[in-house]
Structure 1
């Protein structure tokens, strides 16, 4: 569907990625009558809304779905469009039902040490992370039987595990994958987060429907104004609550367009510097495992793991997060002409924790607009001296890890252009108090408003190095509890108020 079919809803969610869909799922499961509208400016790519495009068996159909998610403009990684921001040259977005959850690599590590959010009670966060793992179908052992998996982990463990606590040693990467009846695995897309809510008659999913602004009645979110991108028609939709989950660049843009402009809006932008390196496993290791196929996807879309995906966790003493995977399953492509069987090639990606500053920001214009008429944006971003020092440490660490795993395929490890991680965070960050350093509270409610929530990696306030999706989904689970209380409270207030606005009991 395009424009919403109802004039009002209990909840409108802008953005259908993993976190926006978490709010839909949690509210539908816990509120028996809530009517929910889920908006996305992009098209629906698959029959199951938000399904992972890598699960599409036919390569031509898969490529068409990825192109549809890119929209107009220069393409980035398959399924993404480059924004063309000089300070963050690799910055890219996906515009489709399911958001980046229809394209991601599924890595779901738990944050540790300084990555954790200190003002959220640890027991509450642990419970929310567990719920997030359930929603995403996270499995830490899905690829344990991959031919090279244990060999890779043993080599990494011998290098880095000494002195680490047990829960921060080299391990299989927890992955969002869905087991099929035949025992094979497929990548979890946003469809698994939505679950039954995708087909609930109380939920409307409007694709190719752009939210132009959140309607504010004083300090209270009262609905949204949306445009059908096919017909150009615009309409207003009333709501008792609005969640904006439109990614770390477009969420602050929409708040700005709506006149919601707290001092921290768009600031504290965090893109994790990413260093990559490629090695081939030693010949004797390859010879010992004849199961190499050179494929990572079977003819019916199932994953064919080779070296699996291994994880070198972040610690405060080791302020980067390592993701080690067969390179043909990596978002960084294998160069042609290497003469090496793809299954024997391992890619190492080290993500650094950024030195977060308010000067790294997305700035919005009052005079220039984008193609949709929303405020034009400009990114200000740089690596500080502290960042450059950590990047050099990470280069040495990933070179040592590569040498431990195999034989380097190329020269020194390479720092990818800023924005390559696609892990943008912080632009609507939470804070323990309304002190100007945050946009929302620890339950993702926008400060000094009622009925307005934000969601996504952009609410994470800490300098993380690990993949952020699990954390942002856990924070959405937390926020959904507060939202549920809001819906129940406002419903009770409506039941006990007569049409003149006087309380009846």
Structure 2
């Protein structure tokens, strides 16, 4: 095209390289290979292949370096590896992420003290837990239910993410754990909401190693082999260009050289996460009233318990004698307690690498027998829970500064109280609860921020985009990510977001064919 890293013109620009941006690239490569695509990412490439999950990096030092490179302006700040570390009361991000600056996360109300993001090829898909539960009951998007459309889209999302249910089939304590959980909370549940294996974007290689899906899996060989697809890292998109009410391209800054460029495009997809997608629209002068509103996170209640009544030798490795760490043994897998409208929590129960409380030196603990229990609570969604943007106080990238206005309601506090009761019940069912009580993680810890460019069935002022994810106010401009989900969810949202991206990509192709 030219000696520049940037093409002068493409058919489609995708802003962001996380799972939903990758889903657009994949569907376009499969169904419209004649289209030229430029995918732009503000952060560096930290894995090989680009977009891979950092868990797949075998060397611990190399993995830590990849995480550090993902932390953008927060690189070098203190991070935590276990949720129990948050009991210290300090604001820390997970490795590979960085926090909003002080003052931005709680402009008023409770705020989101742990609101965080990543800047790297693959986005949060390089760091996530890979849990891919389907939404249930009121989590589902009613206006996409006709003729089973939502489930077909979720099927496609599972294909792109490489979702499996058997990666931990060999875990010796998995079945026992699920039996105990089901005995405690299984009454009255239909098949889809019974305690079960967690669907995971994970597969096991022939040599036995686990491979965690990142954006590399979503992109797939077909995208990587597409000669019309380009992935360009360390590129800040500063503005979506609009002409006559239609997307016309993007303005970018090369973060390697500081040079500015313009890329013309008739279709633009903004998949920059739930904080930076509305930020970019705001910076571009695209400011519908619902932009940044209906922000919702999932409050988390966590606890730990030891599976009792088992023989340490069953784990197949020597028993641990302290809570000091050690290699992860795959003994209990990942289990799922699905959301229901009666019990509006999503539960995931997984092995902890070490006990969150000190254990006696002579206390033999079977590897994998200590599990962490987490319940995610659906938010009472409100219009006034929102992001606002400051044109006079920029962020570290020079973009409009993000401010959080967010509060828990009486209904939210009630849900958290019920989750506390429920998680105690689950911990007792597992065996021996560890620690005095469950605790609530600081708001924002879930990283499951949603709603800030929410989808709506009609353009009634309460949504940013329509059922195909195309922005109401600008034709040819699509938004993607957890920010598009319009419902109150408790389950991990990535599968749903990728499903919506599939629908959006197909609509983009259809619209271009009709032009």
- 2:58 matched residue in structure 1: 57
User: Could you tell me whether the CA contact under 8 Å between 2:455 and 2:464 is conserved in 1?
Assistant: yes
What are the ranges of 5 or more consecutive residues in structure 1 without an aligned counterpart?
296-301, 491-505
- Quick one: distance in 2 between partners of 1:417 and 1:55? 28
CA contact (8 A) 2:193 2:340 kept: yes
Aligned with 1:139: secondary structure? Answer: coil
Cα separation, partners in 2 of 1:272 and 1:3, compared to 1, 3 Å: farther
User: How many angstroms does 1:179 deviate by?
Assistant: 3.1
Deviation of 1:285 after TM superposition, in Å, equals 1.3
Aligned residue for 1:12?
A: 13
2:493 aligns to what?
A: 468
Counterparts of 1:363 and 1:124 in 2: how far apart (Å)?
A: 34
Is 1:270 the counterpart of 2:282 in the alignment?
Answer: no
Given the alignment of the two structures, is residue 368 of structure 1 paired with residue 385 of structure 2, yes or no? no
Change (3 A) 1:415 1:326: same
Residue in 1 that maps onto 2:119: 95
How many Å separate the matches in 2 of 1:159 and 1:307? 18
Q: 1:286 Cα deviation (Å)?
A: 3.9
Q: Deviations over 1:83-119 (max 9, x none)?
A: 1313111111111000000011110000000000011
**1:132 correspondence with 2:157:** yes
Which of the residues 125, 137, 157 maps onto 1:113?
137
CA displacement at 1:199 relative to structure 2: 3.6
1:211-222 paired onto structure 2 within 5 Å: 211-222=237-248
The answer to whether 1:83 aligns with 2:100 is: yes
Contact 1:275 1:416 in 2 (8 A): yes
Correspondence for 2:285 among 253, 259, 262: 259
Segment of structure 1 superposing worse, 284-293 or 461-470: 284-293
Question: 1:49 touches 1:198 (CA, 8 Å); kept in 2?
Answer: no
For the Cα contact (< 8 Å) 2:315–2:331, is it kept in 1? no
Matched residue pairs, number? Answer: 479
Q: Contact conserved, 1:4 with 1:204, CA < 8 A, in 2?
A: no
Look up the SS of the partner of 1:175 in the other structure: coil
Q: 5 Å matches for 1:196-215?
A: 196=221, 197-215=223-241
Contact 1:131–1:474 (Cα < 8 Å) also in 2: yes
The answer (yes or no) to whether the contact 1:286–1:344 under 8 Å persists in 2 is no
When the two structures are superposed, what TM-score results if normalisation uses the length of structure 2?
0.90
Structure 2 unaligned residues grouped into runs of 5+: 80-92, 321-326
Structure 2 counterpart SS, 1:201: coil
Provide the aligned C-alpha RMSD in A: 1.8
CA positional deviation for 1:448: 2.3
2:416 maps to which of 368, 391, 408 = 391
Change (3 A) 1:158 1:292: farther
1:503 match: none
Normalised to the residue count of structure 1, the TM-score between the two structures is 0.92
Preserved CA contact (<8 Å) 1:252 1:266: yes
C-alpha deviation, 1:303, in angstroms: 8.3
Q: Relative to 1, partners in 2 of residues 1:405 and 1:81: Cα closer, same or farther, differing over 3 Å? A: same
Q: Structure 1 residues 381, 3: CA separation in 2 closer, same or farther (over 3 Å shift)? A: farther
Structure 1 304/186 Cα, relative in aligned 2: closer, same or farther at 3 Å?
farther
**Contact 1:173 1:311 survives alignment (8 Å):** yes
Do the aligned partners of 1:2 and 1:206 also contact (CA within 8 Å) in 2?
no
Shift of residue 293 of structure 1? 6.1
Query: Does the 8 A contact of 1:138 with 1:174 survive in 2?
Result: yes
Q: Structure 2 vs 1, CA of residues 342 and 219 (structure 1 numbering), >3 Å: closer, same or farther?
A: farther
Give the aligned partner of residue 192 of structure 2: 167
Deviation at 1:336, TM superposition (A): 6.8
3-state SS in 2 of match to 1:392 = helix
What corresponds to 2:87 in structure 1?
Answer: none
TM-superposition CA deviations, 1:407-436 (whole Å, max 9, x none):
111111111000000000000000111111
Distance 2:159 2:208 in 1: 19
What is the 5 A alignment of 1:36-435?
Answer: 36-73=37-74, 74=77, 75=79, 76-84=93-101, 85-86=105-106, 87-122=111-146, 123-196=148-221, 197-282=223-308, 284-287=309-312, 289-292=314-317, 305-328=330-353, 334-335=355-356, 337-338=358-359, 340=365, 343-435=368-460
CA contact (8 A) 1:292 1:344 kept: no
- Structure 2 CA distance, aligned partners of 1:286 and 1:378? 52
Q: Structure 1 CA distance, aligned partners of 2:315 and 2:287?
A: 59
Q: Deviations over 1:280-319 (max 9, x none)?
A: 111x314361424689xxxxxx985221000000000010
How far apart, in 2, do the equivalents of 1:476 and 1:82 lie? Answer: 26
